[in-house]
Amino acid sequence: MAETVGTIAEIWRYPVSSIAGEALQSTEIRPCGVEGDRRWGLIDIATGTPAAPENDHRWRPALFLSARLRYGAPEIGFPDGGWMPAHATEATAKLTDHFGFAVEARPYGDAYDGQISGKIVNRYNPSPVHILTNASLAHLAGLVGEAMVDTRRFRPTILIETDCQPGFVESNWIGHGIDAGTLSMAATEETKRCGMTLIAQPGIAENADILRSIVRQNRRNLGIYCSVTRAGRVSVGDTIVLHDD
């Protein structure tokens, strides 16, 4: 049985982990996710340790940076409005100035020879697609205040506009198939939230009640992860169809 449950309101890509991403109007999504999504990270040059804003206060300024993909390579945007290629020496100097310790952007898989030799690796295995609904955001806003709730806190791939029911609606989609555009997905698990959700960003104040409310109201979950069962293209405005997987 198939049911139309909403439309795509926003699509996001995050070329560099732990910093703000870019909104897209349309994108191809493959089994590994959106092209160029979370393929680079910020590292502490002295140790090769990747950025962890939710665990280490030194990294909290990360969310005042942003990233976009240009000609297949990431660029980093700084608070002064300037953009630089992520691999540029000048970007490393600006990152170091921004954080107050030596930082650079590197692609995951690069060899590293600092205090600990090895390869630069992501701290977690990102799901190909992360879905969030406006219903969940509205429910959370009713708990902590509308001004505190912003899509950027939660870093979804796709934000869905739905009016099918209130509350954390997408939690009920686990085990179902989801189609949008020419893309087919399977909803695999709920998204466990961490301290990234409460950190300040441009125009968003730090607020610990965000995470507390998610923990109390939905077992620390907000949104869902999906695997890709058929690669395809999605665009803002596409219809979302839920069906038995």
For residue 122, pLDDT over 90 is answered with no
- For residue 60, what are the contacts with CB-CB under 8 A and spacing of at least 6? 53, 199, 200
- Percent of all residues in the chain with a pLDDT value above 90, rounded to a whole number: 87
- Residues 145 and 193 placed together within one structural domain of the fold: yes
Domain that holds residue 146: 2-34+126-244
For residue 111, pLDDT over 90 is answered with no
Quote the CA–CA distance of 6 and 165 in Å, as a whole number.
11
95 in Cβ contact with 76 (< 8 Å): yes
Quote the CA–CA distance of 95 and 104 in Å, as a whole number.
6
Quote the CA–CA distance of 155 and 157 in Å, as a whole number.
7
Stated as kind and residue range, the H or E segment containing 71 is none
- Residues 49 and 157 placed together within one structural domain of the fold: no
Per-residue pLDDT tens for 160-198?
999 878 899 999 999 999 999 999 999 999 999 999 999
Quote the CA–CA distance of 166 and 103 in Å, as a whole number.
43
- Residues 240 and 180 placed together within one structural domain of the fold: yes
Phi, psi of 217 (to 5 degrees): -95, -25
- Residues 94 and 150 placed together within one structural domain of the fold: no
Choose one of 55, 84, 119: the last residue of a domain: 119
Choose one of 82, 103, 119: the last residue of a domain: 119
- Residues 143 and 240 placed together within one structural domain of the fold: yes
Mean pLDDT of 123-151: 92
Tokens found for residue 194: 């961490």
DSSP label of 118? E
Per-residue pLDDT tens for 138-155?
999 999 998 899 999 999
pTM of the model: 0.94
Choose one of 97, 119, 141: the last residue of a domain: 119
